[in-house]
Amino acid sequence: MPSALILIADGTEEMEFTITYDTLVRAGVSCTSAFVSAADAAPHNKKSPPPYAIGSRGMKILTDQHFTPHVSTPEEYDLFVIPGGAKGAETIASHPRVQYLVRVYLQEKKFVGMICAGSMAAKTSGLPKQPLTSHPSVKSELENDFEYSEEPVVVSGKLVTSRGPGTAFPFALTLVELLCGKEKRAEVAGPMVFPPGTFA
């Protein structure tokens, strides 16, 4: 069974987190959410339960675990996901251990997904120039370092990027296809009943 680690922080965009998590679960992917604390937060007690994250619109989401780098490796997961939301993306993308794991996942030929402002992690992680997209609000910070695209979803090797809440479904379904195949994507998309002519 494929597995995914989906990061979340205070300020994460709720739709990008929940749609990705939910869609992957529908495909049979084992998903784990990990809370990334802000740099100025007090160190967490490893024995304490993970906190809820307060999303960009105030939704409280209870996470599965604290982000712990040594158990977040590509030996444990097939996919590493960084959602957007300006504040949440800043917290996640600026975390040195997240940056390290982005590079390691790609080196180990595992998938990394970034959506919306989460694509800033490609820059902070020092990834080489390649096709990429993001939310328009951070385009100016990325377009000189990457081959910037305005397609809803961009796949560059094992790196998958997308634009925002409105592209969360095609982003998640693309991840399903890459992990589980085209037939599984169609199987998952069908019962969702997307209007005719949409991306599914």
The rounded distance, in Å, linking the Cα atoms of 72 and 6 is 10
Location of structure tokens 């589980």 = 180
DSSP state for residue 1 in the 8-state scheme: -
* Total domains in the fold of the chain: 1
What pLDDT, in 10s, does the model give residues 30-65? 999 999 998 655 566 656 777 889 999 989 999 999
Is 26 inside a domain boundary?
yes
In total, the chain counts a number of residues equal to 200
Nearest to 117 by CA among 142, 95, 100: 142
pLDDT band at 199 (very low <50, low <70, confident <90, very high): confident
Q: Which two tokens stand for residue 96?
A: 């040195």
Q: Identify whether 197 is part of a domain.
A: no
Helix, strand, coil shares of the chain, percent, nearest 5, are: 40, 20, 40
DSSP string, 154-180: EEETTEEEE-SGGGHHHHHHHHHHHHH
| pLDDT at residue 49, rounded to an integer | 77
Question: What does the block give as tokens for 57?
Answer: 């619109």
Provide the domain limits for residue 143. Answer: 3-192
In a domain, 186, yes or no: yes
Catalytic residues: 16, 116, 135
Domain CATH number, residue 34: 3.40.50.880
Q: 116 lies in a domain?
A: yes
**83 belongs to a structural domain:** yes
Query: Phi and psi at residue 119, in whole multiples of 5°?
Result: -65, -15
* Range scoring the smallest mean pLDDT among 68-72, 110-114, 144-148: 68-72
Q: Tell whether 98 is covered by a domain.
A: yes
